Chains A and B, each alone.
Chain A
């Protein structure tokens, strides 16, 4: 699947603003971004629900709508409510029946963890259960690619864990999975590769480790004890300085040099050196774009 210079605008807002990317078969990829960053629009383009204004989007070497028609794609869309007056088994069987080589319905329900709900009506399930029904619909056709738009939004911790277990067992069968999320931990924990999108642009692409490294590896924190912050940005390795209460947090790409310089200043009080979290990486990546826009 590939995007080449894809642009999609709604009025004056460029929801997807020149995205180039390529995803290979069998990858599990997270599309990470804040609300309104362009994740859902990217997914709409990928599924052929929307056409790009400029550039091209290709899925399995052809237009997305052809891949969808050929039954190679399953999707779990955002903001859909349960279909009323139908049982779980009826609904999943119906969707499976649209595809050329579907999973047996019992397998689809098993994978989604809802085998015990087969006879229940979809509109009488809890939020987490209904979400897993939607997941079952996405995978029922046994498509090569499944696309999940914010699959865990509004799920509690337990339901979320159950959902990711299901997703992983599906991915283990060699399928390509693309999911969007605004939870960093989810992207880090469940994807082989993370695409960070912000203001409609792809601002980073790599594993969680690579993303963390790319923004300067460590945070050095110490007590200011009344001392000012002047000069701290000039210390070796320091990329940025933040003050929280009486503590200074220095982001640095060479923590050894930074700590040595602090020692020379006699500033070491309650020193901590921690690796930057993916959270920090994400903040750095997306705020950088904010500045340049």
Chain B
């Protein structure tokens, strides 16, 4: 299965769309949002860093589903079924692929924060932010897989983009929540994107991860996990 992981990670990193959309875009947006107009303070530089790292991680995690949809469409998943690999290994390998391919986006945005924007955190904070964002991206990998197994390659792309942009904007990854009207701010608290950023922000502020964030993310993990399982079961008969 490690071979499968290696193969799929390699294929993902060779995808120019993934590298530009999933890694370069969040970095560029982060640098733009924090340096335009010269109005940003240190707090926003840190907050936006975490928001954009989370945005990149979410996009990369969802992208795993795009890969599944593509592999389903071209018959690669069917071809795997006539090798000794078990379906469980394939699904697990794909999920792990998702958890590996989110790392470059997280690392790139954090690096931009530290090296370009002069964000200063303790070593353990950097590590904790990265790990929490990484763990927090797992529900999104499952959401992507659910889409990928259920939909065609094209509709998966669209569904992933809608999920990504919608959840990122409403979750406050792009703009500070302070700019939102009250009702949207309360809605935002229920999104997984808001809570993944909150995990990172609390650690960057020197606090322990908020329990509320863990609870909301766990709920989403279960919801997206079930969605992925149901989609997979339905697709497995026709792959």
Task: Name A residues whose Cβ lies closer than 8 Å to a Cβ of B.
Answer: 47, 49, 68-71, 73-75, 77, 79-86, 90-91, 94-95, 97-100, 137, 141
Which residue of B is nearest A97, CB measured?
Answer: B3
Contacting pair B83 A141 (CB below 8 A): yes
**CB-CB < 8 A to B74: which residues of A?**
80-84
Closest A residue to B16 by CB, please name it: A85
Q: Tell me the residues in window 205-225 of chain B with beta carbons closer than 8 Å to chain A beta carbons.
A: none
The answer to whether A49 touches B83, judged by C-beta atoms less than 8 angstroms apart, is no
Contact status B3-A49, CB under 8 Å: no
9 other A-B residue contacts (CB within 8 Å) besides A69-B84, A82-B74:
A71-B83, A73-B82, A74-B82, A77-B75, A80-B75, A81-B75, A85-B11, A86-B7, A86-B11
Q: For residue B82, which residues in chain A have a CB less than 8 angstroms away from its CB? A: 47, 49, 68, 73-75, 77
Interface of B: prevailing SS: helix
Q: How many residues of B are in contact with the other chain, CB < 8 A?
A: 21
Q: How many A-B residue pairs have CB under 8 A?
A: 65
- Digit string of B61-72 for contact with A (CB within 8 Å is 1, else 0)? 000000000110
**A44 CB, nearest partner CB in chain B, Å:** 10
Residues on A with C-beta less than 8 A from B73 are 81
Contact B14 A99 (CB under 8 A): no
- Which residues in chain B, 85-117, are within 8 Å of chain A measured between CB atoms? 85-86
Q: Are A94 and B4 within 8 A (Cβ)?
A: yes
The answer to whether the Cβ of B154 comes within 8 Å of any Cβ in the partner chain is no
B180 within 8 A of A: no
Closest 7 CB pairs of A and B: A80-B75, A81-B74, A85-B14, A75-B82, A98-B83, A85-B11, A71-B84
Minimum CB–CB distance from A48 to chain B (whole Å) comes to 8
CB within 8 A of A49: which of B15, B78, B84, B86?
B78
